[in-house]
Amino acid sequence: MHPGKKLTLNLKSCDSNIKMSISIKTFLYVKDNMEAFYTIISGGSVVFFSLLAVLIFIIWGYFILISAIIGLGLFVLWIITLIDCIKRDNKDFPIGGTNAKLIWILLLLLVRNIVPVVYYILIMRDRK
């Protein structure tokens, strides 16, 4: 790369095409010093950082949506297992002895993340 030549970048967005020319010297400086990226390339950086912000917002939105779906599913499973545990007789629990129902109810009320899954695998699935 020669310091006197120009590097042309074409940025395409939804509503317009932006053409930007940067000298190779400026490009190499930016490549070496990324913290100064915004101040050196002022013309196209707004578009670049806007598109980057939108991309991060979309990825974060999908993360929140997937987390909400998983959380709702675990909440529904917790309600179903709690109702099943309350309706069962103490003799219907294969493990736990005479206080099995009380132990499972306390576990379901106190540890809500993994215990409904364990209860479903150990107790409810055997019944069906």
How crowded is residue 37: how many other Cβ atoms within 10 Å of its Cβ? 14
What is the helix (H) or strand (E) element at residue 109, kind and residue range? Answer: helix 100-110
Name every residue whose Cβ is closer than 8 Å to that of residue 77 and which is 6 or more positions away in sequence: 116, 117, 120
For residue range 52-111, list pLDDT tens digits in order: 788 888 899 899 999 999 999 999 999 999 999 999 888 888 777 788 889 999 999 998
Report the C-alpha dihedral over residues 97, 103, 105, 111, rounded to 10 degrees. -140
pLDDT in tens, 42-65: 555 566 677 778 888 889 989 999
Is residue 126 predicted with pLDDT exceeding 70? no
User: What residues are paired with 95 via a beta bridge?
Assistant: none
